[in-house]
Amino acid sequence: MNDGPPQIFDRHALTLHRARAQRIAGEPFLLREAAEALAERLRAVQRTFSNGLILESSRSALAILEPLAERWTFDVLQADETLRVPESSADLIASALSLHNLNDLPGVLVQARRALKPDGLFVAALFGSETLMELRDSLAAGELDTLGGVSPRVAPFADVRDLGGLLQRAGFALPVADVERTIVRYRDFSTLVSDLRMMGETNALAERSRRPLSRATAAATMTHYAAHHADTDGRLRATFDIVYLTGWAPHESQQQPLKPGSASSRLAEALKTTEHNAGERASKN
């Protein structure tokens, strides 16, 4: 009996897909967009970081983030999704478009928080819940039309609110999660598939069908996509939601929430209204 997290992703398949993406060596524009957005957030912190850790990301992301820390360590999670870095060894951990493919994201976030020094910063970008919703819908329609059933072909992505909650559960202080949407317009279906291969984002679900998509199913999928998710010029829309996470390793110098009853002024004064005791009915004019 397996007491660990559910095995949603096939880690071996993910490794193969990422190796193929490196061989293709194309222009991963979404990865660049995510890394630049992380860099912008880090510059806003106005702090010099000494020891940075780039986690589960490509080296092209590291090239963008490199000026923001004096030294960087590049780390890839082991097959059991464990970090190989000592606790309290980094004051910055960053990851660009890699953590959404983990079986145990909560566990990895806990490991990242432990790897940070007190008051160290964690930033990450990962795909959110509505990413590739058009492809998911069209593949399901194509399989229903030709096979009478649906198999898992597009990964499930977490909602921004859930990801913010995971930061809190992992013990990060001052957690922030926000999402930015990018709509990419493709001239045809094969160009979309090529981009996903270039990013290493093709199907690596553990429960995926090992059989290639049949010609009939592929044709039905493309027909549905063109009919329901195309603009008037025929270009196909693809949604990519990128969720940005920020959290700090706790430290006594950080801003703390006020204790109940410790406010120095009353809410009624701030609102410029009259305060009534509990149960007292306000009189009508």
CATH number of the domain bearing residue 212: 3.40.50.150
Pairing of strands 116-127, 236-248: antiparallel
The reported pTM is 0.85
Using left for φ > 0, alpha for ψ between -120 and 50, and beta otherwise, residue 108 falls in alpha
pLDDT of residue 2: 57
Judge whether 160 lies within some domain: yes
Structure confidence at residue 119 (pLDDT): 95
pLDDT of residue 28: 83
The backbone torsions φ and ψ at residue 123, rounded to the nearest 5 degrees and listed phi first, read -135, 140
Q: Are the CB atoms for 201 and 34 separated by under 8 Å?
A: no
Confirm whether 282 is domain-assigned: no
User: Which pLDDT does position 76 carry in this prediction?
Assistant: 84
Per the structure block, which two tokens stand in for 198?
A: 């270039």
Given a contact cutoff of 8 angstroms between Cβ atoms, the answer to whether 91 and 49 are in contact is yes
Residue 266 lies in a domain: no
* Number of structural domains found in the chain: 1
Q: Spell out, as residue ranges, where the chain has pLDDT lower than 70.
A: 1-3, 256-285
Residue 105 is assigned to a structural domain of this protein: yes
Dihedral sign for Cα atoms in the order 130, 249, 8, 189: positive
Residues forming beta bridges with residue 180, ordered by sequence position: 242
Q: Is residue 270 one of the residues assigned to a domain?
A: no
Residue pLDDT, tens place only, 89-120 = 999 999 999 999 999 999 999 999 999 999 99
What pLDDT was estimated at residue 180? 96
What pLDDT shows up at residue 271? 54
Q: Indicate whether 255 belongs to any domain.
A: no
Residue 40 lies inside a defined structural domain of this protein: yes
Q: Where in the sequence is the domain holding 206, given as residue range(s)?
A: 11-250
Q: Is residue 173 part of a domain?
A: yes
